[in-house]
Amino acid sequence: MTTNAETFVVSPRVRAATATATVRRKQGFQHGGWFIAPFMLLFVLFVIWPLLRGVYLSFTDANISGEGARFIGLDNYREALHDPMMWDALGHSAYFTLLVVPCITVLAFLLAMLAHNIERGKWLWRLCFFAPFLLPSTVAGNMWQWLFTQGIGLFNETLGIQTPWLTDKSYAMLAIVIETLWWTVGFSFLLYLAALQGIPAHLYEAAKLDGANAWHRMVHITLPMLRNITGLVIALQVLASLQLFDQAVVMFDFGTGPENSTRPFVQYTLEQGFTSYRVGYASAMSVIFFVIIAVVALARMWLLRNREESAR
């Protein structure tokens, strides 16, 4: 596997260029390979190689010891597609994503508008809205597990309600969504805040001169100027939300929620790999998951390109 990383590094062209550290302005510089070599080494070892290995293992019945794996073709994939637990887990991750992404996007935008428009104490709002993001996922999860626990939890007590957040399957996912909103909205909030501060003030001044009221300025200046950052926020959130794991397991004591109603996809793959020792099967699910993530990422690239073309 290291040979992969080194074949390009030690290519004669690169080596020759390193020897003569002279300027070749027209051609550019020839020893760039050395600049990227350390990163590529780590990248090949811990990203590319595991990916290839995952693809290979997915065609075998490998167990955790890694010995005596037989090639079994597409059996793992066939099994996965007929595994109701896999579909459940995938459904939980997708459902969570569908709930969280719009909420975070809108909430982050509103918080940014609020913090941007208050003239005093900007650092205080930033600190308050962003602070939860700085907590480890497990700490945030434990806090909300405790806030949501019936009887001793302050959430129900403060709101004067009796909702069984952690024990009823119709509320369990909602509890994770609320926790995630509180915990991660700060990052998207900061992105929006930066984008708001990057909108040139003269646009607003010109609009004011033309008699545009606050609503018009928002619809015709602020929102269009935030389109790119909104795309980024949504893309990052979709990718992060599909990979739901930490909060979900911590809030339910490393279990799978009431009636298995919250087990996310990542947890199911890890269970197959580490609890059932079915490394081959878990790898097949990882490959499926990778394809899903890649489709989402490619969809975003495709959308961006379309937009650029239509803008021309």
Partner 1 sequence: MTTAVQVSKRSRRPWTPSQIVLTLLGVAVSAVFVAPIAAALFTSLKSEAEAAEIPPHWLPRTWTTQAWRALWSTGNIGNWFINSLVVSVLVTAIVLTVAALAGYGFARTEFRGKGALMGVVMSGLMISPAVLGVPLFTTVQQMGMVDTYWGMILPQCAPAAMVYILYKFFQGVPRELEEAAFIDGAGRWRVFFTIVLPLSRPSLAAVGIFTFIASWNNFLWPYMVTNNPDLMTMPNGIATVMNSYGIQWAQLMAGGLMAGLPLIVVFVFFQRQIVAGVAHTGLAGQ
State which of positions 36-95 bind partner 1 (CB under 8 A): 36, 38-40, 42-43, 45-51, 53-54, 57, 62, 64, 66
Among 138, 170, 275, 306, binds partner 1 (CB under 8 A): 138
Residues between 149 and 188 that touch partner 1 (CB under 8 A): 151-154, 157, 182, 187
- Number of Cβ within 10 Å of residue 28's Cβ equals 8
Q: 60 - beta bridge partners?
A: 71
The answer to whether 223 contacts partner 1 (rule: CB under 8 A) is no
The answer to whether 218 contacts partner 1 (rule: CB under 8 A) is no
The answer to whether 211 contacts partner 1 (rule: CB under 8 A) is no
The answer to whether 222 contacts partner 1 (rule: CB under 8 A) is no
Residues 61, 53: Cα–Cα separation, whole Å: 13
Among 31, 105, 174, 234, binds partner 1 (CB under 8 A): 31
The answer to whether 101 contacts partner 1 (rule: CB under 8 A) is no
Q: Give the shortest CB-44-to-partner 1 separation in angstroms.
A: 8
What is the total residue count of the chain?
A: 312
Structural tokens at position 302: 């495709």
The answer to whether 302 contacts partner 1 (rule: CB under 8 A) is no
Binding residue count for partner 1, defined by CB under 8 A: 107
Point out which span in 81-89, 124-132, 163-171, 215-223 binds partner 1 (CB under 8 A). 124-132
The answer to whether 215 contacts partner 1 (rule: CB under 8 A) is no
Residue found under tokens 């080494």: 41
Nearer to partner 1, 243 or 260 (CB): 243
Nearer to partner 1, 7 or 310 (CB): 7
130, 190 contact by CB (below 8 A): yes
Among 105, 142, 260, 261, binds partner 1 (CB under 8 A): 142
Among 105, 137, 260, 261, binds partner 1 (CB under 8 A): 137
Residues between 186 and 205 that touch partner 1 (CB under 8 A): 187, 190-191, 193-195, 197-198
- Number of Cβ within 10 Å of residue 177's Cβ equals 19
Q: Give the shortest CB-73-to-partner 1 separation in angstroms.
A: 18
